[in-house]
A and B are shown apart, each in its own frame.
Chain A
Amino acid sequence: MTVRKLEGTQTRLLQKIKESLDRLNEKMEVFIELQKHNSKVNPEIPDVLDVMTLLSLPDHLRKTAITICRLEQGTANDVAEQTKRARAVESSYLNQLVMMGYLKKERRGRKAYFYVEKEVGDKTWQRS
């Protein structure tokens, strides 16, 4: 009984370590990508993912951003299915778009969902 308890605790601990490593890995990928494209996170970049922003993005990020616009929300896996690129690549691009302020990220259980933020109650939704 005590041995089983100990095994259970170890498994949970290992699981937590794995999840932390996954998150760390994702962050590392983002930094590597940002460095690769010689870009910095600039707080002055407007965080609106409109067509003019889409046009200004590098090709690889534009493809990911348009896919999320089409899907409305999705995981790196959902995007990878559409773009036919590797999940890890899409995960990195999606996280870059989050850091640039164009996408939002939300964790639900073990999955990370990405989406374009839509404000509720925005005046532009009202009929003038």
Chain B
Amino acid sequence: MAKIVAVHSYKGGTGKTLLSLNLAVLYANRGKNVCLLDLDFRAPSLHSILKVKNAEYWVNDYLNGVYDIKKVLVDLSKTHAKRGRLLVGLANPSTEAIREMSAKDRKWEMKALGRLLSLKNSLLNDMEIDYIIFDTSPGLQYSSINAIVSADIVLVVSGMDISDIKGTQRMIHELYDLFEKKTGLIMNKVFADFLSTKGHRQDLAKKLMNNSNLPIVDMIPCFCDILRTGGTKLFANEDPDHPFVKILNRIATTVEKL
């Protein structure tokens, strides 16, 4: 069944964009039709990672009510997907657009929520998209909460920093639970020794839970070679046997069943 997945985090730099993009490519390689939307209007990044040049239309335009979603989407199926379709909606990276988006009022945000909610009909039904993946801004702000309310599933990515873990716990219980969202927690950039054996993984999960019920989906170790590429390598396509891609495949299967 078709799903909207919002990838969110409490703090920035947890790996949301890397996970969203590779997850989108993995689903497309499995033959699914996928639409990935950059909803991080404060720090747009998909355009530079995917090296999309001369983009004319942005997700900003869709939320502003200027263009239809079909006009905004860039089709990367030929270059980035082996079987299914991969459509991408980019956030406008110009300083003017970032400034404009950060100055929107509450009425605009309300309409933006309506537009995100209506994507389910326009993309999932009319365009036969199987997965819509939202790459969101970190923390509690309008664009990310709009994305969470519109999504069926929230994948929250956290690093091992104590402030990140505590903030993520709060968001799970005070945000996602309030909106009755299915939530999956992905611990990212975990010190590799903590995941070296099954016993170590269980110990870490127990420690993270700390009497709180956290829906841990998976734990990804810190890969220096991923950091070294500086976001220029699309691992799902360029290095499909990499352990990171294997873990992401596992996550993709888990999300399919959520």
Contacts and interface: CB of A to CB of B under 8 A. Distances in A.
Contacts of A52: 106, 142, 145
Contacts of A46: 106
Interface of A: 46, 48-52, 54-55, 59, 62-63, 66, 69-70, 72, 116, 118-119, 122, 124-128
A51 B149 contact: yes
B114 A124 contact: no
A66 B114 contact: no
Contact of A50 (B65, B113, B175): B113
B117 A69 contact: yes
Interface of B: 61, 64-66, 100, 104-111, 113-114, 117-118, 142, 145-146, 149, 175, 178-180
Nearest to B180: A63
A68 to B, nearest CB: 11
A51 B142 contact: yes
A70 B178 CA distance: 16
Given A51-B149, A124-B105, A128-B100, A59 B178 contact: yes
The 4 closest A-B pairs by CB, nearest first: A124-B108, A51-B145, A50-B110, A125-B65
A81 B178 CA distance: 20
A33 B117 CA distance: 29
Contacts of B142: 50-52
Contacts of A69: 113-114, 117, 149
26 contacts: A46-B106, A48-B107, A50-B107, A50-B109, A51-B145, A51-B149, A52-B106, A52-B145, A54-B179, A55-B145, A62-B179, A63-B180, A69-B113, A118-B111, A118-B114, A122-B107, A122-B111, A124-B64, A124-B104, A124-B107, A124-B111, A125-B64, A125-B65, A126-B64, A127-B64, A128-B100
A48 B110 contact: yes
Contacts of B145: 51-52, 55
A114 to B, nearest CB: 14
- Most A-side CB within 10 Å, residue of B65, B110, B111, B145: B110
A128 to B, nearest CB: 6
A116 B178 contact: no
B66 A66 contact: no
A109 B178 CA distance: 36
B113 A51 contact: yes
Contacts of A49: 110
